[in-house]
């Protein structure tokens, strides 16, 4: 079956592009001596995670205990839950995983450290801990300095926790070259400040984890990092493209959609709305819109309802007719994938099979 014979809407991934994206990131990390612990939140698929491991990943990253359960259930190991997990039910499940897998968790408060430690102790499990500092995004993480060292000491005192190192998320690195340079310098300064405190106290820091897709290939310019956690690079998307962090042909995921109405003059409606593409806006680039139509680049998707994509065809060089099947590159592939229970694997236009998005919906 060809891609345009799929029942729509359908999320697809180009297997060759995926493989090239996986290889490029793995090569980059090898070249620069960085560990690659890809964030699986983008794909949520054990099959893709296994490919990442085959390409040399040192482990995997997830955001949720439920996602870790899916990956562990598929035989994967060395999982970082890059999230301050809190709540008895989730921590009991984390402890069950930590009994026979190598698990890491990130946290930035004593409350979470003690809750994790208590749950581990109850099961006789041990979990590695990365203490999180804020690299400048202002989301999670302590300010680099004495409080960070103090929290690491607390972790070291708690018997069922093992202090492994530091984590930050430099999610603000993005946009144009000048903005990236500025934020890269800021992140480097904060990483250095964080490490300096530990050097002074002679506390060994085995892991220093950072990384995001837009900043991934500049990670070697931040001294001190030992590993990175990019996620989006497997598929890429319009936000990645518009930041110059990938080429258009590196966008592996596309939503196949059908034009279902052209009744209103100047427009066309496709059967992909916010419940298929997600309503995440375009955050970078000259254009606005809700996804790029490969077959009609000059026909922007200007608005989404839940099941309707509004295409502005007024300046389109190609007419869109009811029944036409098109491919849409989403703005933000992570939230798009999260809408789908399966993804169709396409190679050279031919549908080879499907993967279940097995960790989708594992929100706890």
Q: For the chain, what is the radius of gyration of the CA atoms?
A: 22
CB 65 within 8 A of CB 90: yes
Cβ-based nearer residue to its own copies, 177 or 264: 264
CB 316 within 8 A of CB 298: yes
Cβ-based nearer residue to its own copies, 135 or 245: 135
Neighbours of 350 (CB within 10 A): 11
Rounded least distance, CB 241 to its own copies, Å = 19
Residues 113-116: contacts with CB under 8 Å, at least 24 apart: 113/151, 113/154, 113/155, 113/158, 113/161, 114/158, 115/86, 115/88, 115/91, 116/85, 116/91, 116/161
Rounded least distance, CB 305 to its own copies, Å = 7
Cβ-based nearer residue to its own copies, 94 or 103: 94
Closest by Cα among 255, 358, 352, 293 to 15: 352
CB 357 within 8 A of CB 340: yes
Contacts of 141 (CB under 8 A, 6+ apart): 108, 132, 133, 134, 135, 167, 168, 169
Rounded least distance, CB 352 to its own copies, Å = 18
Rounded least distance, CB 168 to its own copies, Å = 11
Cβ-based nearer residue to its own copies, 146 or 361: 361
Rounded least distance, CB 278 to its own copies, Å = 7
**Distance separating alpha carbons of residues 227 and 246, to the nearest angstrom:** 21
Rounded least distance, CB 33 to its own copies, Å = 29
Rounded least distance, CB 51 to its own copies, Å = 22
Cβ-based nearer residue to its own copies, 58 or 137: 137
**Distance separating alpha carbons of residues 65 and 217, to the nearest angstrom:** 28
Binding site for its own copies (CB under 8 A): 7-10, 41, 63-64, 83-90, 108-109, 111-112, 115, 132, 134, 138-143, 171, 258, 260-264, 267, 269, 271, 274-276, 278-281, 305-308, 310, 321-323, 334-335, 338-341, 361, 363-364
HSE-up of 189 (CA within 13 Å, CB side)? 7
Tokens 């955001």 found at: 63
Helix (H) / strand (E) element for 19: namely helix 15-31
Rounded least distance, CB 23 to its own copies, Å = 26
Cβ-based nearer residue to its own copies, 246 or 260: 260
Cβ-based nearer residue to its own copies, 73 or 75: 73
Cβ-based nearer residue to its own copies, 55 or 243: 243
């Amino acid at each position: 079956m060809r891609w345009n014979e799929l029942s729509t809407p359908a999320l697809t991934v180009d297997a060759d592009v995926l493989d090239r994206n996986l290889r490029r990131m793995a090569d980059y990390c090898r070249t620069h001596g960085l560990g690659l612990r890809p964030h699986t939140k983008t794909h949520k698929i054990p099959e893709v995670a296994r490919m990442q491991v085959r390409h040399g990943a040192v482990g995997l990253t997830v955001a949720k205990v439920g996602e870790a359960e899916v990956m562990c259930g598929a035989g994967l190991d060395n999982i970082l839950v890059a999230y301050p997990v809190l709540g008895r039910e989730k921590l009991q499940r984390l402890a069950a995983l930590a009994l026979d897998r190598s698990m890491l968790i990130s946290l930035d408060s004593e409350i979470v450290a003690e809750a994790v430690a208590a749950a581990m102790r109850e099961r006789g499990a041990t979990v590695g801990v990365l203490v999180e500092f804020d690299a400048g995004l202002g989301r999670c993480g302590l300010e680099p300095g004495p409080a960070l060292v103090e929290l690491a000491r607390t972790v070291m005192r708690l018997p069922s926790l093992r202090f492994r190192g530091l984590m930050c998320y430099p999610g603000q690195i993005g946009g144009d070259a000048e903005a990236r340079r500025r934020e890269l310098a800021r992140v480097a300064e904060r990483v250095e400040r964080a490490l300096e405190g530990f050097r002074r106290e002679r506390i060994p820091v085995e892991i220093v984890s950072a990384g995001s897709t837009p900043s991934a290939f500049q990670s070697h310019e931040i001294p001190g990092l030992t590993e990175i956690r990019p996620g989006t690079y497997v598929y890429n998307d319009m936000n990645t493209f518009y930041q110059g962090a990938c080429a258009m042909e590196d966008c592996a995921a596309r939503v196949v959609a059908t034009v279902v109405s052209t009744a209103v003059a100047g427009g066309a409606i496709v059967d992909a709305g916010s419940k298929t593409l997600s309503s995440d806006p375009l955050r970078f680039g000259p254009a606005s819109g809700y996804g790029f139509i490969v077959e009609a680049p000059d026909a922007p998707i200007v608005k989404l309802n839940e099941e309707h994509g509004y295409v502005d065809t007024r300046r389109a060089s190609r007419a869109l007719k009811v029944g036409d099947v098109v491919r849409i590159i989403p703005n933000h592939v992570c939230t798009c994938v999260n809408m789908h229970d399966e993804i169709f694997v396409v190679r050279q236009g031919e549908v080879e099979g499907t993967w279940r998005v097995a960790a989708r919906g594992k929100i706890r």
